[in-house]
Amino acid sequence: MLRIGFVVNPVAGMGGPVGLKGTDGEETLRKAVSRGARARAFDRAEAALRSVAEARVDAMFLTCEGGMGEDSLKASGTHCDVVSGHGDVTSAADTRAAVRAFISKGVDLVVFVGGDGTARDVLLETGTRVAIVGVPSGVKMHSAVFINTPEELGELLLAFQLSKSVKEAEVMDVDEESFRGGAVRARLFGVALTPDDSEHVQAGKQSYSSGTASDEADEIGQYIADTMESRVTYVIGPGGTTARIARTMGLPKTLLGVDLYRDGALVREDASEAQILEELRGSGEARIVVSPIGAQGFFFGRGNQQISPEVIRAVGARNVIVVSTPSKLAGTPVLRVDTGDRALDDCFRGKLKAVTGYKRKRLVDVA
């Protein structure tokens, strides 16, 4: 029987759909709530635990009271022992206290629901004494300790139960203030142990900055700009490749935000989910242009939660354009989606034609 410590960061990911690119800090959380953000960690935790039940994993769960784990486990019908509490407002200190309690009880694995910030809090207590794995629920998930989607937790636990095999994985520290300002300042925070399961655990984010890759991105930007249709709204996601589209048009683009363009003009800058939906209402046809994260392969569900399932359905899955340089695809064997809506994710799985240059496309696998 696996002994699993299970902890949830209830506010993880709340800042994403409202355009805040993170939820670290009390002030950011207050701002997210004022913009209408809703908690999403409970849904992600429930999906993960449902997969564990379906896989019939023989496990004993230790957890934190209430919304930091107990509620999710009880909702899924999973028996648990509550070994830690929390204050009126949950905090990083509560996460760390829960992990310390897990370690004292001799757990085999710590499963957390959150983003990079939660991963850092967990690692501060575990070091390399206990393996950890994250259920992705944050905005930024650059660390290499997250499963691809919540629904894969059951399969990962089954494999880990048999092998107990672990590997070293990077946990990244991303400066949220810089991130909100359009700059990715990520450094190695530490090295964790995580289940050695490349099928279900994502890779760390990689960057591509060679001159050749830059030329490739310029070519893609020129092609998309040249083929834009009149009276069509273009929802363009974050990233260096997508930024080249706006630059080709001579228009600004937030590097890490979602921006809307129509008829050669910027119509909404750094838009939230609600603002995108507002702009789409009654505006006619629309397209979504996104680029996958290098090595990880996610083109939805990592850093662009403003493009929510509701936004994608409003535009239509067939109107999603995925762009990627050949250099990036060379290090990204498959593409992935994790919108939080399993039925919608299934619409993209299989084969997809990604734009890789001027009038050039490549058929890629979407897992």
Q: Are residues 52 and 156 in the same domain?
A: yes
Residue 14 lies in a domain: yes
Q: Are residues 348 and 264 in the same domain?
A: yes
Residue 176 lies in a domain: yes
Token pair of 17 as six digits: 């759909």
Residue 90's pLDDT is what? 87
Q: Are residues 172 and 129 in the same domain?
A: yes
Q: Are residues 176 and 82 in the same domain?
A: yes
Token pair of 221 as six digits: 């930007």
Helix (H) or strand (E) holding 203: none
Number of domains in the chain: 2
Q: How far apart are CA 284 and CA 225, in angstroms?
A: 19
Residues 6+ apart with CB under 8 A from 329: 354, 356, 362, 364
Residue 179's pLDDT is what? 53
Owning domain of residue 312: 211-366
Q: How far apart are CA 36 and CA 52, in angstroms?
A: 31
Q: Are residues 182 and 87 in the same domain?
A: yes
Residue 208's pLDDT is what? 44
Residue 210's pLDDT is what? 41
- CB-CB neighbours of 31 under 10 Å: 16
Q: Is 2 helix (H, G, I), strand (E, B) or coil?
A: strand
Residue 52 lies in a domain: yes
Residue 203 lies in a domain: no
Residue 205 lies in a domain: no
- Each residue's pLDDT expressed in tens, for the chain with a length of 367 residues: 999 999 999 988 776 676 665 556 666 656 666 777 677 899 999 999 999 999 999 999 999 999 999 999 999 999 999 999 998 888 999 999 999 999 999 999 999 999 999 999 999 999 999 999 999 998 878 899 999 999 999 999 999 999 999 999 999 876 655 554 555 556 789 999 999 998 899 877 655 444 457 888 999 999 999 999 999 999 999 999 999 999 999 999 998 899 999 999 999 999 999 999 999 998 899 999 999 998 889 999 998 999 999 999 999 999 999 999 998 998 898 999 999 999 999 999 999 999 999 999 999 999 9
Q: How far apart are CA 289 and CA 242, in angstroms?
A: 7
Q: Are residues 314 and 230 in the same domain?
A: yes
Nearest of 193, 159, 180 to residue 272 by alpha carbon: 180
Q: Are residues 156 and 242 in the same domain?
A: no
Residue 202 lies in a domain: no
Q: Are residues 36 and 116 in the same domain?
A: yes
